[in-house]
Structure 1
Amino acid sequence: MIETGAYAGLFLAAFGAATLLPLQSEALLVALLLSEQQPVAGLLLVATAGNVLGSCLNALLGRYLERWHARRWFPVTPQQLAKARERYHRFGRWSLLLSWVPIIGDPLTVIAGVMREPWWSFLLLVTLAKAGRYLVLTGLTLGWTGQVFPAA
C-alpha cells in the first residue's frame, strides 16, 4: 500500500535538508526503503525532487542576498563574500556537483545564486548530484540487489 504521508514526509525532509536548516533526509529514506511499503523509484524521485527544490530556494535567496550586504546585521562579511566569489570563479559551475556534500553543499547553491548561475546548468548539475547521492544510498541500503525500477 502506498502511503502519501510517507512521500510528503520524505519530500519535506529532503527539501529542508537542502536548505541551510540543519536537517537530514537520508535516515528517513533508508527507513522507508527498508519498510518496503513504497516503490523504490517513487522514493528516489520524491527525495530528489524535494532536495533539488530546496537547493533552488537557496539559489533564489543567493540571487537577492547581495541587496543587503552593506547592512550591519548581514551574516557574511564583504571579505567572506569576495572569497566565496573567487572560489566559485575558480571552480565554476562544476562545483555544483558537490552540492550533495554535507556542510559545503548548501552554501554552494547559495553562492551559485549570488553568481547568477543560469537556471539550466544549476538544475542539471544539482539534480545529477542529488539524485546520484540518493541512488548510491539506495544501492547501499538494498545491497545493490534491489531493483530500482522494477518491471511493471
Structure 2
Amino acid sequence: MESLVQLLIDWGYWGLFFAAVLAGSLLPFCSEAVLVVLLRLGLDPVGCVAAATAGNTLGGMTCYWIGMLGRPEWIARLGVSETRLERARRFLAGRGALMGFFAFLPGIGGAIAVVLGLMRSNPWLTAAAMCTGKALRYVAIAAGAEGIASLIA
C-alpha cells in the first residue's frame, strides 16, 4: 500500500486524482494523505483541491451508476452490507438527489451514492450536490493542513 501511495504522490495532481477516484468508489483508500503530502511538497492548493474533488466525485458517481445498474444482492457482493444500505435508505427517505452532498461522509458515503442510484435520483443534480460536498471537505482538509504546517514552521 505504501508503494502505491508513493507512486500516486510521484504523479502529482494526476496521482491525487486517481487516489481520489479510488477513495470515492467502494474501494477503501485515503486520498487525504496524498493531498496533505502534495501540499507539503509545495503543489498549488487550488490545483490539489480541484484534482481531488474531480476524482472523488467521479469515484462517487461510479457508486451511483452501480446503484442504477444493480440490484441490492449485487451491491452486497461489492462490500456494501445490507445494514449500511438500509441506514442509507432511512437517511435518504423523502429526500432527493441533493442528499448526494453527504456522499463525502466516511463509511456511509458510498452507500448513499449507491442508494441514490437505486432510487434513480437525477444524475446531474446528484453529481452537483456530491461535487459540492466533496469540494468543501477537501477545502477543509487543505486549510487544516496548511494551518497546521504554518504552526509547525
TM bracket (short chain): 0.7 to 0.9
Q: CA RMSD in A?
A: 3.1
Q: Percent identity?
A: 31
Question: What is the aligned counterpart of 2:21 among 15, 20, 23?
Answer: 15
More helix by share: 2
Distance 2:144 2:107 in 1: 22
Distance 1:134 1:35 in 2: 17
Say which is worse superposed, 52-61 or 88-97, in terms of deviation: 88-97
TM-score by length of 2: 0.77
Q: How many Å apart are 1:143 and its aligned residue?
A: 1.3
Equivalences for 1:3-152 in 2 at 5 Å?
A: 5-36=11-42, 38-66=43-71, 69=73, 84-143=88-147
Query: Structure 1 residues 76 and 43, CA, compared in 2 at 3 Å: closer, same or farther?
Result: closer
Q: How many Å apart are 1:88 and its aligned residue?
A: 2.1
Query: Structure 1 residues 22 and 79, CA, compared in 2 at 3 Å: closer, same or farther?
Result: closer
Aligned partner of 1:89: which letter?
A
User: Which protein is bigger by CA-based radius of gyration?
Assistant: 1
**Unmatched 5+ stretches in structure 2:** 1-8
Distance 2:64 2:108 in 1: 14
Aligned partner of 1:30: which letter?
V
Aligned to 1:150: none
Distance 1:75 1:60 in 2: 16
Query: Structure 1 residues 118 and 10, CA, compared in 2 at 3 Å: closer, same or farther?
Result: same
